[in-house]
Every structure is written in C-alpha cells, then in structure tokens.
Structure 1
Amino acid sequence: MSRDGTPPSATSRPRTVLYVADTERAASDGAAALEAVESGPTRSVHAVTTVERVRNWAAEADCVVFAETPTTAAGATLLEVVDACGETPLVLFTESSYAPTAARSTDGIDGYVRRDTDDAVSHLADEIEWVCAGAGTVADGPERESESEPAAIALAGDRAPSTDRAAERLLEAVPELAACRDRDRLFELVVETVADALERDRCWLSTVNFGTFEPRVTTSAIGTDELSPLPREGPLEGILQSGEALRIDDLAADDRLAAPLADAASLCCVPVGDVGLLCVAAAEPDAFDEADCEVLSAWCQAAGAVRERIDDETGRRRERDRLENQRDRFRSERDRLAEERDRLEDERDRFRALFANVPEPTIRYETEDGRPVVRDVNDAFREVFDVDPESITGTPVGEDAVPPGLEHRQTALADALRSGERRQLVSRRESVEGVREFLLTLVPVEPDPERDDHNPEGLIVYSDVTAANRTERELAAARARLETITDLVDDGVRTPLNVARGYLELAAETGDPDHFAEVDEAQELLRERIDELAAIAREDDVLVETEPVAVHDVARRAWVAVDTGDARLVTQAPNDRVLEADKARLRELFEHVLAAVIDETAESEGGTDGGGGRDDGTSETPPVVTVGATDDGFYVARRASEDADEGSPATEPVPGQLAAADGTGYGLGTVERIADAHGWDVGVAEDGDRIAFAFRGVDSADDGPA
C-alpha cells in the first residue's frame, strides 16, 4: 500500500536498490528481506559486498543502502561507499549505537533507519521512497494524472470571512503553483502563499530526514535555530499515512506533540503529498478551525500533485540522461572497437604485404582447432616447389613441410608451431632444381592479449642452404687434407730425408757402397710418400648430396663387397639408426673399415690358407664382426668369437683422431677423410684379439630442431 492508503500502480520498471553489507550472507539475506516488503513500488534489490561494485553500479541504481554500523570494523568503508555513490542517494541502515546526530553530520548520507527496531525492514522501504522522492527520482508506476492542472481548491459549508479570503488568495496562486518546475521553488511558494493567505508569520514546510521532520522552508519570521525538528513517530506519521490534517488547539494541554516553537500555543499540520508536512503555528490557542484545515488540505493536495509532476519530469530527465550516458558509452565502445578493427586490419594488411614480398619461399599458417594449417603461400614458394597454392591450402603444415620417410618430424614441427616460439628446423624436399636442403624458420605473429578468440598464426620461411652446406663440407674436407699432408710431411717425408742425409755422410766418410743402397731405399720411400701426398691433394672428399641412410643396411651391402673369409657379421640393436650421409661415401667407409678389421683378424691369427683356418692345418672359431649404434654415432667391432666378452674395448672404443699414417698399420686415411667430410670423429680401441672403431658426433636424421 502507498502512504495515502491506495494500492501501488503497476510499475514501468522496479526500483533498483543496492544493499551493501560486509559479507555475502548478510548482503544476500538483507537484499531478499527488503525485496519481499509489500509496501511501496516493486523493488529489485542487489546484494553488494565491495566498494568497487558500488562504484560500477551506483549510477544505474535509484538508491544505495549501507547496512553496517560505521563504528564497527564491518562499517569502516562507509566514506568510501559514500564517495562511490556519486549522486545516487544513500540510506544508512544501522544499529542505534550510531545515532541520527552522527549520521546527520556525515556528508553524503541522505536517510537513516535503525536496524534494531520492530518492522525495521518496512521502515527501511519507506525511507528509501522518501529519499528517492526527495532526490527527484522516477516515481515507480505509470504516468500520473498530475500532468494536468492541480485540483481546484473548493470548500463546502459555511466558512468564516477570513477563511474565504484565505481560499481566494490560494486560488489566485494556483496558476503560479502549477507553473513550478523546481521542487525548492514549489516548497517556497507553498509556505509564502499560506503565510500570506492566513496572515500567519509562523509557517514552515518540513521533510523527513534521518527519522525526523527537518524544516526545509520557513518564513522569515522564524529564526534559524528557533525551530526544533519534529519526531516522525506518533501523530505526524499517522497524518502521512491517512492524508488528513492534524489540528492541535492547545499545545500546552495536548501531550501528543511537543511545541516546535517556544511561543506556539496552537498548531495545524497538513501533509504535502507523501513527502512532507506544512505546519502553521499561532501564539494563541484555538487559532485554527476545520475550515482552515480544509483550505490548507486542498492547497497541499494541489501542491502534492505539482510535486509529483515535477518528480516525474525530473525522473524522466534523469532516466533520459542515464540512457544518453549509456548511449554515449556504447558509442564510445563502438568507436573503440572500430579503431581496434581498423588497427587489426592495418596490421593484417602489413603482415600480408610482408608475406607477399618475402623473397624466399614462405607459408602463412593459422592454428585451427589446435592444428596448424596452411592458409597461403607466396609466389616464391609456388615457383621453387612448382605447386598449386589451392592444392595445399587448408592442409596440415607438417604434411607439406616434412619430406617422405621422416614423418616423425611432423610432431616436432607441430609442437613448435603450437608453442608460438621462434624455432628453426632442417628439412630436405624436392624442388624444381632437384632435392635441396632447406632451413625452416618459424616466425609466429605475436597474439593480441585482449583477444581470447585469436588463433595463433605466423610464417614458415624456407631458406635454401644446399650451397652453404656444400661449401662448409668442402672447407672441412680441405682442412682435413691439409692436416693429413702436414702429418705426412712431418712423419713420411722428413724421416726418409734425414735417413738419406745420414747415410750420405757415412758414405762420404767411409766410402762404403752399401751406404748408397740405404740412401736409394730412403729415396724410394720418399717418392712413395710424395705420390701419396699428390693423391691426397687431388682427392675430392666433398659430399655432393646427403640423404637419410640406415647404418645396418649400408654395412650389410659393404660386407658383400669385401673378402670376409669365414668371418660373420652381426648387427646390434633392434632399431636401425638412420643418419644424414652421402650414401656412396658411407659405403666406401664401411668397406675400408671392414677390410681393415678382417685383415687384422687374419694377421693376428698368423695368416690364412684362404679358408679362414690356420695354415698349419688346425681350425679356429671364425671371428665375429659387429656393427651397432651408440648414443651419438655407430661402431664397427671385431672379437675372436661369439662367445667372447662384449665389454670394453669392443663396444667402448676410446675416441680420438686417426691419421693416415699414425703407426696403427690400418691404412685408414680414406676412412678419416670421409668422416671429416661428414663432420664426424673417429676413435679406435684394441685389446688382445678385440678391436673397435667408433664414429661419433653423428647427427641422426630424425633430429628435428636445428
């Protein structure tokens, strides 16, 4: 029910209230209780526990309720909440320990209700309506009929001449009253007109503030500190509910209400709508009669109608301003999004221009459902690999970037693309110029941190490193040849020269011709070393082409080409090792190593009769040659039989650099040069009838990142 006893009308929108408490439970329970109050308009009450939420939502609310006692720890945020409310009115719903006087002295508090009284929540609902009405908010309900002129002041029955004069003066002021567009001016006009019409200088209008009726407008005859506030409880609350005037003929004899003025003997109080009271006091008892009350009630009803119209207009203005502010925010957000869209489009255009102008073959990819797919290729990619862009657009990146036979690299490539890190991978693939080696550079585009729906994208640039790798191998081979020549000069040339010089000196001293034979033999050895140096200088140990090669397969093919006698070949490890190598040169390396191992076997056994046994007619267990993989390469080892111990040194050769003429007697200069051309190290170990050659620093063909 409304204050005049009539049921509330249907609402255009509910009253929006923020209920602020320290805990979620207190805020939720309080909001539910306030929303359940049946009196007044429909309310939509939201539980709030933080100042930040008040700041974000206050502009959209009609009122804020602070439901904590400011003198407690839970109510310590009162001033912050007041600041966050802005222009939205705030009602303090507190324990009685925080008195109205303290609340009244705090700026920004518009209403006060004690929480520890009966029907406290109902009083809170009434206070919210008082505060919202005083702030000029939209009164809930459809358009009131107050848009029309206020009701005419009409009186029935016999009246005193003074009452007739008062009614006439009030009627004359009705047009000015109806023309009011401001609350304060309306209240001033109500008081001024009544004081003039009744010829009473003790007249004022009070509105509810913190549970009492505080003077809002007074005549000039009332001093600033002369008028005391009137309590809301008691008979004054009753006349607001009933809408009827209260007349006290003798304040001294009537205990219903204390005299608001020191010299007041009688009093007439009339409700002005549901927002306040118009009070007229007289120094003599029985100064007012029923006719006076009727005239004042009609005048205040008209003023109340005008006040409702002003509130409606003010409310509509506020609602219009709120909607305009919201519209402006939407426009600002729209403009911001448009700017962001333009920025992203510019960035996309720059990215695509960069992509189109990259001189090297390039793929543009995007991540779709967690899988990188090809979105476009540039002209260089199309020309180098002779592909139709439409044939690979939309396909997974790994299927095109990884050559056949090395599909396991697709996982490494996909992981690198999903990680969004700049990486490099080595790949070989067919081009219009044949199989070429490429260095793949993954260039991810930095994601936009403000976009959650952004799919990672980037470029894959193919850099042809075939010539660079070949040059690097040529330089490595040349360095190896120079080192070999240096070693041969030091060990194979300088020694015979020294020998020849020594014998020439002896021949000169003794004249013995046998010394000249020794000189001739040293010169013959010197010629052999010079021929060997010339052969090394003419050798071309450059790797023309490398490809994935299986170690065990090449070893078995080399075994067939070598005279192995009755020796047996055993390949170790269940999985064959695949490495990048020149297949022909690797086979040549195995042939030399296997031949050296077989020859050493024959020599260690004292010679063969062509059948693998001793020439004295006794038989021996045939030796076993093992080819296996290590963590960083492969090895070739020989042991006397399959029953011999497989431990060191056969499977644990000591690494070291072999020389072509290092005194081992194996003649492995060609082996070392082939290893050098591949960038490998060669090690050898020997123990009795066991010997092993190890090749280390070997890059496996399934190594992904460069």
Structure 2
Amino acid sequence: MPDRIRVLHVDDDPAVVEAATSALEQEHCGITVETATNVADGIERLDSEAFDCVVAGYDLPEQTGVEFLDAVRKRSPDLPFILFTSEGNEAAASDAISAGVTDYLRVDGGAEPYARLAHTVVDAVERTVDDIKHVQNTRRERAIEELHSTARAFMRATTEDAVAQITVDTARAILNMPANGVHFADGDSLYPVAWTARVEELLGTPPAFEAGESLAWQAFETGEARVHDDITSIPGRYNPETDIRSEIILPLGDHGVLLIGSCETGAFDDTDVTLARTLSVHATAALNRLDRDRQLREEREFIDQALDTLDDLFYVIDTDGSLRRWNERIPEVTGYSDEEIDEMSVSEFFPGDEHETIGAAIAETQTSGRVTVEAEILTADGERVPYEFAGTRLTDADGTTAGTVGIGRDISQRRAYERQLERKNERLDEFTSIVSHDLRNPLAVAEGNLELARTECDSDALDKVSRAHERMRALIDDLLTFARAGETATDIESVTLADIVEDCWQTVEGPRATLVVEDDRQIRADTAKLRRLLSNLVRNSVEHGSADAQTPSGHTAEHDGESITVRVGIVEDADRHGFYVADDGPGIPEDDREQVFEEGYSTGENGTGFGLKIVQRLAEVHGWTITATESEAGGARFEVTGLEPA
C-alpha cells in the first residue's frame, strides 16, 4: 500500500461528495480526495495529475458514469474505478461491469454506505498494487529468462553490427520497448547502427550525435545511465521539437549507447529500467568479446607475419611429437604442404640415421630447458639439407611442460665454408712446412758455409752475404707468422692488457724507450695472438720513433728527445671499444696511414713489410679493426676497436 492515496471523486451532488470525502479521509489518514463536477473536468484532472482511485456517480452532467469509466479505461486500464451512485439500475450495473468497473456501490444500498465506500477504495487500491507487483514480477522473470536466451545469441554474433541488431530486436520484442536504437562511437561522434521501425515513424533516419550536442553524448562521455521521465524539461536535448518524452540512455562501454524512447511522460518504471540495464550489460559484454577477439586475431596475424618473414624455420612441437605451429618457411624448405605437415610427426622430417639425434635433443630440452643440435632435414624430394636447431622447453601457466619451441637455421653455407677452410688449412700446412723446412735447411747450410769462408777469407762481400742471410731468416719468420695469423682465434679467454704489454716490452730492444700503460682493463682474446699483435705494435713504435729512425716517407725523423715514450690505453667511445698503442715519435703522414697495412710496405732497409700487415691479420681473426692515426704528442697512434664493452 502507498503511504498516500489520492482519490478523484467526480459527482455533481455536493451532499454526496461531502459525505464521501469525510468518510474516506476518516477511514485512512493517508487518503486525500480531489473533486470534479463533470466528466470533462475529471478527464482533465486525470491527464495532468496522478491518482490511485476514481469514484464517480452514474448520472453526471452531459455523460454517464459508465461513459466516464470507458474513457478512463482507455487511458489507465489498471486504475481502480468505483461507481458510487444513487441513480441507476441493473442494466447500468451490467454496463459498468462490462466496461471494467472495479466495484459498483449504491449510495442508498444499506447501512453506512460511505463507510463501505471507504473500505472498498482501500481494498481496491491494495489489490491493484498487489496485481501490479505480480504482473511486474512475472514480466521481469519472463524477460530475464528470455534475456538469458538472447545472451547466447550475443555470444554467437561475429560482428558489432550483429550485436547492435540483436540488442534492438530484444528491446522491442522481449522488453516491449518499440522505439529504440543503438549508436556506435566513432571519434567525436555517435552514429546510428540499428533502430526499430517505430523510431523511423517518429524521427525518420536517426541522426548522428556530435560531441557535446545531445543527452546521448553526455551519457556516453560520463559512462552513466540516464533515465528521463520528461526530456522537455532537460537542458541539452538534441531536438527540442521531438515527440519523444520519456527516454532511457544506456552506455555500452566505450562502444556507444542504447537509446530507448516513448512519447508518454513517465513511461518507464523500475522494472523497465532494470531489464534495459540487463540488456545493455549483455550487449556490452558481447562487444567487448569481439574487441578482444579482434585484438587477439590482429596480434596473431602480426606474429605470424613476423615469423613468416624469417629465413629460419620456426616451430612448436607438442608433447606427442607433432607440430602444433610453424611458419611458412617449413613447407618451403621441406616441400610438404601445410595439410601434410599437420599429419606428420617430427621424426618424419629427418632421415633414419638422424632419428636418435633428434629424439635425444627433444628429450634433453624437457630436462635442461634448452638444447642446440645439428641434423640434416630430409625433404619431400629426398634431398638432405644440414640445419642447426635451437630448442627451448615450452610451459603452460602452471609450469607444466607443453612442448618445445625452436628455430632451425640452414648451415649449408657454413658447412661449405668449413670444408673450404679445411682445404685452405691443408694448403697452409703445406706452405708452412715448405717455409719452415725446405727453406730453413738450405739457409742453415748457406750460413754454415759462410762461417767456413770467413776462416779462409776476410772480405766485405762476406758481410753482405751475412746481411742477406739475416734478411732471408727475418722474411721466413714473418712469412710463417703471417700465414699462421690467418687462422681463427680459438683459445679465447680473459686477459689483463697491462700484463700482456709488459711481457711484450721485455722482448723489445730500445734502451732509450719508455713504456707507459694507462689502464689494466681485462679483455677477451686469444692470448698468443694478442701477444704477437702487441709486440709488433710496440716494436714498430720503438723502431720508427727513435731519433735516427726514418719516417714512412724515407726521411730522417727529427725527434727532440733522447728517448721514445710508448703509451698503451683503452678506447672507450660511445660506439667504439678497444685499446690503442701510441708514441711521441715522428708519426705517420696522413696520406700514408692506410698504406702502412699493405703487404710488403716498409720504410726501413731491414724491414720485411709484413709487421703491420700481420697486426691487421691478427686483429681481423678476432673480429677487430685496426686504424692508424695521430697521437696527442704528434706521433703515431694505432687503435684496435670492435672489442666487447667492458
């Protein structure tokens, strides 16, 4: 029961109205009675105000109470209507019942008719409230059941437009809201996507709403649902001349809004709003799902595209030994189609003699987590292609092994290079054997005979022969060093630069030379080759930087001091890492700084022209670069760069 009951009593008999008003207000302290003397006034009051019950006489001016009842029923089918009259007959009562009267009472119908009227009004209002609640609950329950069925349709939808259409159809058919539509967001506007025929009857094609120009945009921007019982009183409405009076505006997340309208004021009760909200929640969830699906699809397409651009094989192996995923390179290399690969096990991509290797590698991946193995792929055409495979254990969210993910790289060129290197090393061994034995032996014989000749004869010519022998021996030593410098740097380890330089300095003849080591940084290198490289650089500084040395151009150096200072330090620029050997000697002219590394280039009478060429070769086998430049003191500076950062 409402706390306040408003009754409209329509009768032109003042005595009846006064007595009825008194009885009603005494019966229920919450009853308020408003009166009208004719049907026209009564209709006007009902159109402008809300009442819980109507009491009317039968014989009214211009129209009967039954005719008044018929007009009321067309407006409010559930509003309690009590015909309370001293006039009338059974025929009138029958007409009233047929028109849907709630109760029929005679003013002269027994004792205390006004008290019975009061009880009848209260009972009628109470029954109506209960009936309305029952109808609302039944409708809500039925609508919720049907909305659950609609939720399945939402989950089957594959496009945003399909979701919008399902939303519109559901609001019309299940929620009995014939005028509704969905607008989607696009930048700073909301554009119509789906709407009912009733919307077109009222508005034509629904308009698009730009930012800030409508109630729909306000709801979308704030994310808050809006329920308006009468939009004519709401500022900011899009069209002040619209026939729409009541409106529900429900945001659909970041996707748009659901608009539900009615030409009646106060058309939507709490049940309507609750059901509409439920519908909007289902629609928003469906749109969010499509967004996630699209993002996942786009992400997968991006990843697939990235993997397909690889020259390497990419693969994911399931725990049962089948391929779960692969890039386009695998069918290109193997010659099998995607359909064939889908039915194959990993072992079928390899010849029989590789099965044990591959099986052991996969098993090791499951235990150690990572493995690298070389094996030959057997293509559909029977060709064997060498590959290096790097696999890593793949786990799920619980840490359980889900398979192996890996990369396969074609090592055909590397294998060919290795074979070529083997042949080259064989020829190099032959060469060094010839140099070290076939040349040294005749030289040793010549030197022995020279000594015998000196016992028999003292001649300047023999001195020239001796110097020639020394140059030949120096050439043989440098040739051997140069040849062996071409080998790869295999014994890489961390060494202290200062220690290696100090060792090299012990072998340099130069009483007037001074060594300064400016850093004791550790570097990774082949110790033997690094020692040879530094020895050659230090010796070059001492030999070409002394007071009586000649510059690379052949002129005598003008050095102010009695000694030469050699400095060794670290190169640590933003993009260069290495070390340098510098001196304060005469330096190297800028035009000659590239020529000094050429084979056979020398400026001294006893030079072989291999010293700096050997240095360059020793740097290259480490992957380093050497350049000649000028030191801070104006002398020569050699920079070796390309080392790993400290």
TM-score, normalised on structure 2? Answer: 0.36
User: Which structure shows the higher helix fraction?
Assistant: 2
Higher RCO structure, 1 or 2 (CA under 8 Å, sep 6+): 1
TM-score, normalised on structure 1? Answer: 0.33
